[in-house]
Structure 1
Amino acid sequence: MSIVYKCRHCGHVIGKLEQQVVDTSMLGLDQLTVKEKEEMIKYQNNGDVQIQAICENCEETLGQHPHYHELEFFIQ
């Protein structure tokens, strides 16, 4: 089982953890609301867990163009 952090905007893989057992509190997932968990955590058919996050490049772009927050996707 892998935990894959992937940018929700550009699709870039930010990081990957290869673990058999994971303590979700160590990852901070227990701090998320139910709605945030539904939006950010996706369970894959192969057993992997994909976590939607934001990469440094997209975070910088959003900082330079705050109106992009209104868009579902800002990378064409």
Structure 2
Amino acid sequence: MQLVYVCRHCRSYLGQLDSHKTDTDRLGFHALTAEEQADIISYNLNEDVMYVKTICDYCQEAIEAHPELVLLQNPLQ
């Protein structure tokens, strides 16, 4: 299964890992609550892909400069 990282705000592709070559326990997913996992992780079983939502540098900087953006549904679309 591929782990694909995308920005939760702008949906930019940030990178990917091959879970067969990576110990997913080392990534810390097991430490997340069920709610956090549901928010951060989604699956496409047909393509054998796990999507992990994170935040890119651009969006992080924009939100730090303008914290009110977090209140919008899609702040950087």
Aligned-partner SS, 1:17: strand
Runs of 4+ in 1 over 6 A off after TM superposition: none
Residue 21 (structure 1) shift: 5.8
Q: How many residues align?
A: 76
Q: Does 2:42 match 1:24?
A: no
The corresponding residue for 2:68 is: 67
- CA RMSD for the aligned pairs? 1.4
CA deviation profile, 1:22-43 (whole Å, cap 9, x unmatched):
4332111112111010011011
Equivalent residue letter for 1:12 = S
**Alpha-carbon distance in 2 for matches of 1:13, 1:22:** 19
Residue 11 (structure 1) shift: 1.0
Instruction: Please report the TM-score for the alignment, with normalisation by the length of structure 2.
Output: 0.88
Aligned-partner SS, 1:73: coil
**Alpha-carbon distance in 2 for matches of 1:64, 1:31:** 30
**Alpha-carbon distance in 2 for matches of 1:59, 1:18:** 26
Equivalent residue letter for 2:60 = E
Q: Does 2:12 match 1:12?
A: yes
Aligned-partner SS, 1:43: strand
The corresponding residue for 1:47 is: 48
